[in-house]
Amino acid sequence: MSGDANGGSDHFGDALIARVRELGHPLCVGLDPHLDRIPPPFRAGTMAPAAPATADAVEAFCRAVVDRVAGRVAAVKPQVAFFEQLGWPGMRALERVVAHARGAGLLVVLDAKRGDIGSTAAGYAQAYLAADAPLAVDAMTLNPYLGLESLAPFAQAAQQCGRGFFVLAKTSNPGSGELQDLEVGGVPIYERVAASLAPLAGRLAGPATGWSSLGIVAGATWPAQHEALRARLPRALFLVPGYGAQGASADDALRGFVSGPKGLEGGLVSSSRALLFPPDGEGGDRARWEASLDEALARSTAELAQAVARSGAR
Amino acid sequence: MSGDANGGSDHFGDALIARVRELGHPLCVGLDPHLDRIPPPFRAGTMAPAAPATADAVEAFCRAVVDRVAGRVAAVKPQVAFFEQLGWPGMRALERVVAHARGAGLLVVLDAKRGDIGSTAAGYAQAYLAADAPLAVDAMTLNPYLGLESLAPFAQAAQQCGRGFFVLAKTSNPGSGELQDLEVGGVPIYERVAASLAPLAGRLAGPATGWSSLGIVAGATWPAQHEALRARLPRALFLVPGYGAQGASADDALRGFVSGPKGLEGGLVSSSRALLFPPDGEGGDRARWEASLDEALARSTAELAQAVARSGAR
């Protein structure tokens, strides 16, 4: 992990929590470069996925976002699919965007939702979390369907290189309950996944804050479920997508957070579309888009900072 | 889908079954280029994942495998993680290997195990299954944890471009049962996943054979479970990993297959290490490795062809 991004800590959980306390809010900016919504100043031709110029345009757009948000949020979360759909030039653009973000002092959480077994899982850990990973990030998201053994190489990277990872528990989509809410012995699957992670979360606890480098993904759209998840994992990080465009409020998003020295803490709350594509920032020139993004970012961080500070009332 | 690979069919299920009937066996060669096992004639330097020459070596090795197996098996199954761990040069190598395999008349099933929602799922479908996908394959593997809605863009690609996809049901790893075997109302999760796919499998049935372009992954290491899965999905393809190096026999691997005009049929049986890295093919020169691969391939196809033909005895 680069010293720039985490202030010299070699533990993802500690680094993340320290940065969030400093900023006073847990906002994470999702880098979801939807091809059809990238603002005119960055567009190239028809933005066809297979056109090489499209990857360049996506890279320029994401770099511009990084430049606006650096120093104002703890982390960015690139969604791999938006880069992967452009073929290898998209993966090259992602590598450059990630390096740029880490160089600017941001933690990078790669939203990859990978999940595989044995040497294949080790391949994904090598790709993104190893000390010599070609596309090194600070943390990534993982899918638990193949069982706990599939997490082993990622846990090793957490211990050896200070990385982190977030396992899908309860995702933000309307249909997430289809499998995740099924109850086994009265306990829903998402809660069982969380419970099964508890021992590993403990082993990956940070020396400075006690927060683990292991986290879960818990959609902001399901706040009622966050308390049960937190009870199973008292010091695991929550990565909370769905705040903003997907309709969840700041208080909803923080439902699983707990009191800390600077208010509520315990993870990251992610917003993407509402920041990258602000309603009044489309169609205009670059300065107009930048001003709209700045304004949307200020609104979101203020809203979250207020919700964080309300912790005393709990 | 290229006319070369599927004989002009625009339906993945029909194309796959036609080719398997022609060959008399369902062997699929897994392209799992383990860096530490690639034979000497193909190696480049230390084979460090971040070294650009490593991706070239992996590409040369996989092309050589494709050249040996073309015309003798219906499909190859590249495991994305082994390419992804090399960064974007690895993804470029994968793109070239896939194009080479399809040009040689092989169907390509990408083992990617992707799973995401909404526009992100659409991004993965665009990456691999769309008509203008930069890295177009015939089918790919998907993870069901996020629910059926996550499959929509892949189903659309199946209908519009003749592609296919395989959803993880019961994976071959020892710890797969941790989540997949949990019982809800007396029915294990893997079987529930299969049941939930039945309506979509029916909608994607092929006009020529009745076999669907929707399949599931069912590990050869769990043969007893295949019959329950087949009962839920009478005409879905099974992608069966774990044959060979993982210890399952040909009869185990075919447990979910059913009688057809040419013996047992119903999907693909995948083998990788036993073919790519035959015990007597390591350390030697290229001709020696080729002869060992040929021999291992002949043994596997003969064993599977015999098991296919024993269908009359059921």
Picking from A123, A130, A172, the nearest residue to B84 by CB comes out as: A123
Q: Closest approach of chain B CAs to the CA of A89, in angstroms?
A: 7
pLDDT for residue A58: 98
| Alpha-carbon gap, residue A301 to A305, rounded angstroms | 6
CB contact under 8 A, A149 and B175: yes
The answer to whether residue A51 is domain-embedded is: yes
pLDDT for residue B6: 46
Sole residue written with tokens 């846990």? A155
**pLDDT tens digit sequence for A168-218:** 999 999 999 999 999 999 999 999 999 999 999 999 999 999 999 999 999
Percent of chain A past pLDDT 90, that is, above it, reads 90
**pLDDT tens digit sequence for B7-28:** 456 999 999 999 999 999 999 9
CB contact under 8 A, A120 and B95: no
Residue B311 has pLDDT above 80, yes or no: no
* Among B38, B128, B146, B166, the residue to mutate for chain A (most A Cβ within 10 A): B146
Residue A288 has pLDDT above 90, yes or no: yes
Is residue A262 flagged as an active site residue?
Answer: no
Q: Closest approach of chain A CAs to the CA of B129, in angstroms?
A: 10
**pLDDT tens digit sequence for A119-153:** 999 999 999 999 999 999 999 999 999 999 999 99
pLDDT for residue B245: 73
| Alpha-carbon gap, residue A308 to A302, rounded angstroms | 10
pLDDT for residue B295: 96
User: Which residues does chain B have within 8 Å of residue A174's beta carbon, measured at their own beta carbons?
Assistant: 149
Q: Closest approach of chain B CAs to the CA of A2, in angstroms?
A: 17
Residue A5 has pLDDT above 60, yes or no: no
Residue B2 has pLDDT above 90, yes or no: no
| Alpha-carbon gap, residue B167 to B164, rounded angstroms | 10
> Are A53 and A44 in contact, with CB atoms under 8 Å apart?
yes
| Alpha-carbon gap, residue B235 to B213, rounded angstroms | 9
Category of A118 on φ-ψ map: left (φ > 0), alpha (ψ -120 to 50) or beta? left
Q: Which ranges constitute the DSSP H helices of A43-104? A: 52-69, 80-84, 88-103
Q: How confident is the model at residue A7 (pLDDT cuts 50, 70, 90)?
A: very low
Interface confidence, given as ipTM, is 0.95
Q: Closest approach of chain B CAs to the CA of A165, in angstroms?
A: 17
CB contact under 8 A, A127 and B81: yes
The answer to whether residue A1 is domain-embedded is: no
CB contact under 8 A, A182 and B184: yes
Q: Residues 72..131 of B with a Cβ closer than 8 Å to A: which?
A: 79, 81-82, 84-92, 94-95, 111, 113-121, 123-124, 126-127, 130
DSSP line for A171-224: -SSGGGHHHHT-EETTEEHHHHHHHHHHHHHHHTB-TTT--BSEEEEE-TT-HH
Q: How confident is the model at residue A6 (pLDDT cuts 50, 70, 90)?
A: very low
CA distances to A30, A284, B31, B48, B298 from A104, in Å: 16, 27, 38, 27, 55
**pLDDT tens digit sequence for B175-189:** 999 999 999 999 999
Q: Residues 35..74 of A with a Cβ closer than 8 Å to B: which?
A: 48-50
| Mean pLDDT value of segment A77-87 | 98
Determine phi and psi for B179, rounding to 5 degrees. Answer: -105, -40
Residue A291 has pLDDT above 90, yes or no: yes
Q: Which of A245-259, B114-128, B129-143, B275-289 has the lowest mean pLDDT?
A: B275-289
Q: Closest approach of chain B CAs to the CA of A314, in angstroms?
A: 32
The answer to whether residue A5 is domain-embedded is: no
Domain count, chain A: 1
The answer to whether residue B103 is domain-embedded is: yes
Q: How confident is the model at residue A1 (pLDDT cuts 50, 70, 90)?
A: very low
User: Which residues does chain A have within 8 Å of residue B120's beta carbon, measured at their own beta carbons?
Assistant: 32, 79, 81-82, 111
As given in the structure block, the two tokens for residue A197 are 């992670």
| Alpha-carbon gap, residue B270 to B287, rounded angstroms | 24
Domain span at residue B149 reads: 7-307
CATH number at residue A138: 3.20.20.70
CB contact under 8 A, A119 and B182: no
Residue B256 has pLDDT above 50, yes or no: yes
Sole residue written with tokens 């994607």? B204
CA atoms within 13 A on the CB side of B237: 34
CB contact under 8 A, A82 and B182: no
B280: Cβ contacts below 8 Å, ≥ 6 apart: B288, B292
Sole residue written with tokens 């002009």? B8
Instruction: Give the end-to-end CA distance of chain A in Å, rounded to a whole number.
Output: 35
Mean pLDDT of chain B: 94
The answer to whether residue B61 is domain-embedded is: yes
Nearest to A58 by CA among A74, A80, A82, A79: A82
User: Which residues does chain B have within 8 Å of residue A151's beta carbon, measured at their own beta carbons?
Assistant: none
Determine phi and psi for A230, rounding to 5 degrees. Answer: -65, -35
The answer to whether residue A3 is domain-embedded is: no
| Mean pLDDT value of segment A2-28 | 83
User: Which residues does chain B have within 8 Å of residue A119's beta carbon, measured at their own beta carbons?
Assistant: 32, 34
CB contact under 8 A, A175 and B146: yes
| Mean pLDDT value of segment A242-262 | 91
As given in the structure block, the two tokens for residue A171 are 């995702």
CA A50 to the chain's CA centroid: 27
pLDDT for residue B275: 95
Percent of chain A past pLDDT 70, that is, above it, reads 95
The β-bridge partners of A28 are: A75, A270
The answer to whether residue B242 is domain-embedded is: yes
The length of chain A is 314
| Mean pLDDT value of segment B40-51 | 92
| Alpha-carbon gap, residue B265 to B262, rounded angstroms | 8
> Are B33 and B57 in contact, with CB atoms under 8 Å apart?
no
- DSSP class of B130: S
CB contact under 8 A, A81 and B120: yes
User: Around Cβ B43, how many Cβ atoms within 10 Å?
Assistant: 16
pLDDT for residue B281: 67
Burial classification of residue A198, based on how many CB atoms lie within 10 Å of its CB (0-12 exposed, 13-18 middle, 19 or more buried): middle
CB contact under 8 A, B79 and A192: no
Q: Closest approach of chain B CAs to the CA of A143, in angstroms?
A: 7
CB contact under 8 A, B115 and A113: yes
pLDDT for residue B7: 46
Q: How confident is the model at residue B5 (pLDDT cuts 50, 70, 90)?
A: very low
| Alpha-carbon gap, residue B66 to B148, rounded angstroms | 34
The answer to whether residue A88 is domain-embedded is: yes
A141: contact with B, CB 8 A cutoff: no
